[in-house]
């Protein structure tokens, strides 16, 4: 698919949900590994006994930024064997316009991403997409994260 064809296809999808991921379970091991990588060992994330006893959430919760960092995986952007767009040579995370964490993600919860295409435009040899990513928590009315992500796609 050429960039011109991709632009036409994507323009027709603006405002639509374009991807829903599989469920992913947030494990304590994931949270601990993220804490080690970011040096954020706040007890509400890594001290299970204390979080079970003292947390207003009834147990440990994932870091908000862990939830945010899972977006490339959940949206399928990191699997080179399964590109989301035919003919795509490279996709780059360009930035985030807005991020909110409406509800904490408890350790052990399952999450999945819903992707809605907000806009697409040509930008210096690439297509610039803005997607609204909503991280659903199974069984919870509020999402764990809502992010307006900006990506560049090169064909």
CATH of the domain at 138: 3.10.129.10
- Identify the domain containing residue 33 by its residue range: 3-154
Give the tens place of pLDDT for each residue, 92-144: 999 999 999 999 999 999 999 999 999 999 998 999 999 999 999 999 999 99
In angstroms, rounded to a whole number, what is the distance separating the alpha carbons of residues 92 and 52? 39
Average pLDDT over residues 9-22: 96
In angstroms, rounded to a whole number, what is the distance separating the alpha carbons of residues 89 and 2? 11
Instruction: Give residue 76's pLDDT band: very low, low, confident or very high (50, 70, 90).
Output: confident
Judge whether 127 and 7 are in contact, CB under 8 Å: yes
pLDDT of residue 79: 73
Six-digit token string for 18 = 């374009």
Find the radius of gyration of the CA atoms of the chain.
17
In total, how many domains does the chain have?
1
């Amino acid at each position: 698919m050429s960039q011109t064809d991709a632009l036409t296809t994507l323009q027709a999808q603006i405002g639509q949900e374009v991807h829903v991921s599989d469920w992913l379970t947030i494990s304590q091991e994931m949270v601990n590994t993220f804490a080690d990588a970011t040096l954020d060992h706040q007890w509400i994330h890594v001290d299970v006994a204390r979080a079970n006893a003292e947390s207003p959430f009834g147990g440990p919760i994932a870091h908000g930024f862990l939830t945010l960092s899972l977006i490339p995986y959940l949206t399928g952007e990191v699997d080179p064997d399964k590109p989301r767009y035919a003919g795509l040579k490279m996709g780059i995370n360009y930035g985030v316009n807005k991020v909110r964490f409406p509800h904490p993600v408890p350790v052990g919860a399952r999450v999945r991403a819903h992707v809605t295409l907000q806009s697409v435009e040509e930008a210096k040899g690439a297509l610039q997409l803005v997607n609204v990513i909503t991280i659903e928590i199974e069984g919870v009315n509020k999402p764990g994260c809502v992010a307006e992500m900006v990506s560049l796609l090169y064909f």
